A and B are shown apart, each in its own frame.
Chain A
């Protein structure tokens, strides 16, 4: 397989880092792949642009940072403005169509999804926006199976919140299907 470098970005409190950890951990624990996860940590973690790097590969991974992303996920305009230059030519850019207005041209496959709107319509709770985004990332990248991420969510989250999170995963997957016209 090709080495996958994913850069999750957004604003502190959106759960971007949680989503990145879940993605990497699912790859390691359920798909027998190697993964590393790091995060920007500091003044940026309190507002501004938050970032988490994930690399997934079937070979050992040494240098753990993403310098050029195959997949760039931006959940805020600030994050997009800051990290848009890090996408590899020909990579995938996943953004929320309400939160990010793609003002500049990016040399990437652009997947704009109404994640926030869909979450508010269906689940009526913005707290699962990150998990909806994660469902979309998994649908686009196919690096881990949907069942794997759900099993991991079931281990990590309190039972009362599982239904909303599972719905959010499915919603993210569905939005990608609609976008790709499948």
Chain B
């Protein structure tokens, strides 16, 4: 029996992966369907010298992890839709102050308290636009346990590389699903370490002066260098400024550091896409149903393919456009009213050939649901 093989829930996989990535601090307010993440962290982190804090709410949870991250520790919180709504203010602060951290949102049905114990994928746009002001964000997702592990580690890597909060959008269906996972050996997945400044103590350190490659070396807050952290537009020392040149430079930097690297950040899987006549685009739990249908139809000779997105933001426009251009039509499979559909239509040269197969009743979309939509589009009737 292979000791690295476990049979656990998706939420537990996320915990394993966060610890693999070097997580040292978790603050959260448990909420269904993400509760297992907080529960496991409470038990695991203290044993390895880490810290677990149960906070009074989600606002303080995200504030706590931004503080922890500034002091040099990898930090994360986990929540679901209602908690994610409360986090939007602090999320904007983490974007503006360029604080690496990971926010897991195990999506349930919304709006409001909605459907606590059922699956949904309605927070895709909230992850992108939930906090106010122009900004860029990274949001990742996954459909199976091996990929949840990988994407959780990637979330920490992207957070450090781009000095930004990263959102991991899981869903109830994969979060509570149990299946096999083989935990990779240490070192098998590369980890991005915190980039720390080489500026000596007592010498002028510029926490917000990007290097030529766009990265900003950090200094553990409270350690060698004194500097200011603010949600206001700020200069290279972190002090507030309303100088138009500085304001323009900072917002361009915040957006460009992510949007200009969208090719490096794009993660996706192609299943039988090369010779496909009809393409499905999906992500998270919905992609499992889409892949089920694709494998089933392929065994009957139908040329169906699936582009499974793992990076949702920045939206992988070029990859989606190319895939859509090579097929007769595309169907986006998701559990909301068309949030990724909207992006695919914007990316595609012929938006009239992009359709939606969705479910918004809290139930996981089934392969039959998708097949029925395909039949309608193909004029075969249901």
CA distance A39 to B172 in the complex (A): 11
B288 CB contacts on chain A under 8 angstroms: 62-64
**Contact at A35–B7, with CB atoms within 8 Å?**
yes
B376 CB contacts on chain A under 8 angstroms: none
Interchain nearest-CB distance for A178 vs B (Å) = 32
**Contact at A65–B176, with CB atoms within 8 Å?**
no
- From 302 to 345 in chain B, residues with beta carbon under 8 angstroms from any chain A beta carbon are none
In the complex, B274 has a CB within 8 A of chain A: no
CA distance A35 to B181 in the complex (A): 11
Known: A28-B5, A28-B7, A42-B118. A63 touches B366 (CB 8 A): yes
- From 13 to 37 in chain A, residues with beta carbon under 8 angstroms from any chain B beta carbon are 21, 24-25, 28-30, 34-37
In the complex, A38 has a CB within 8 A of chain B: yes
Chain A CB within 10 Å, residue with most, of B5, B180, B288: B180
In the complex, B292 has a CB within 8 A of chain A: yes
Which A residue sits closest to B295, measured CB to CB? A62
Question: Which residue of A24, A38, A39, A64 is within 8 Å of B7 (Cβ)?
Answer: A24
CA distance A129 to B261 in the complex (A): 57
In the complex, A157 has a CB within 8 A of chain B: no
**Contact at B173–A28, with CB atoms within 8 Å?**
no
B367 CB contacts on chain A under 8 angstroms: 63
CA distance A44 to B288 in the complex (A): 25
In the complex, A67 has a CB within 8 A of chain B: yes
A36 CB contacts on chain B under 8 angstroms: 177-179
B1 CB contacts on chain A under 8 angstroms: 29-30
Query: Secondary structure of the B side of the interface?
Result: mixed
**Contact at B366–A64, with CB atoms within 8 Å?**
no
Size bin of chain B's contact surface:
20 to 34
In the complex, A122 has a CB within 8 A of chain B: no
Interchain nearest-CB distance for A46 vs B (Å) = 11
B177 CB contacts on chain A under 8 angstroms: 36-38, 64
In the complex, B80 has a CB within 8 A of chain A: no
CA distance A35 to B177 in the complex (A): 10
Which A residue sits closest to B294, measured CB to CB? A62
A120 CB contacts on chain B under 8 angstroms: none
Which B residue sits closest to A52, measured CB to CB? B178
Chain B CB within 10 Å, residue with most, of A24, A30, A64: A64
Known: A41-B117, A62-B295, A64-B173. A28 touches B289 (CB 8 A): no
- From 158 to 189 in chain B, residues with beta carbon under 8 angstroms from any chain A beta carbon are 173, 176-180
CA distance A65 to B119 in the complex (A): 13
In the complex, B62 has a CB within 8 A of chain A: no
CA distance A30 to B178 in the complex (A): 16
- From 101 to 128 in chain B, residues with beta carbon under 8 angstroms from any chain A beta carbon are 116-118
In the complex, B364 has a CB within 8 A of chain A: yes
Known: A29-B7, A30-B1. A64 touches B179 (CB 8 A): yes
Chain A CB within 10 Å, residue with most, of B177, B295, B364, B367: B177
**Contact at A42–B117, with CB atoms within 8 Å?**
yes
**Subset of 20 A-B contacts with CB under 8 Å:** A25-B178, A29-B1, A29-B5, A34-B179, A35-B179, A35-B180, A36-B178, A36-B179, A37-B178, A38-B177, A41-B117, A42-B117, A42-B118, A62-B288, A62-B291, A62-B292, A63-B367, A64-B177, A64-B179, A67-B366
Known: A21-B7, A34-B180, A61-B179. 14 other contacts (CB 8 A): A25-B7, A25-B178, A28-B5, A28-B7, A35-B180, A36-B177, A36-B179, A38-B173, A42-B116, A62-B289, A62-B295, A63-B364, A64-B364, A67-B366
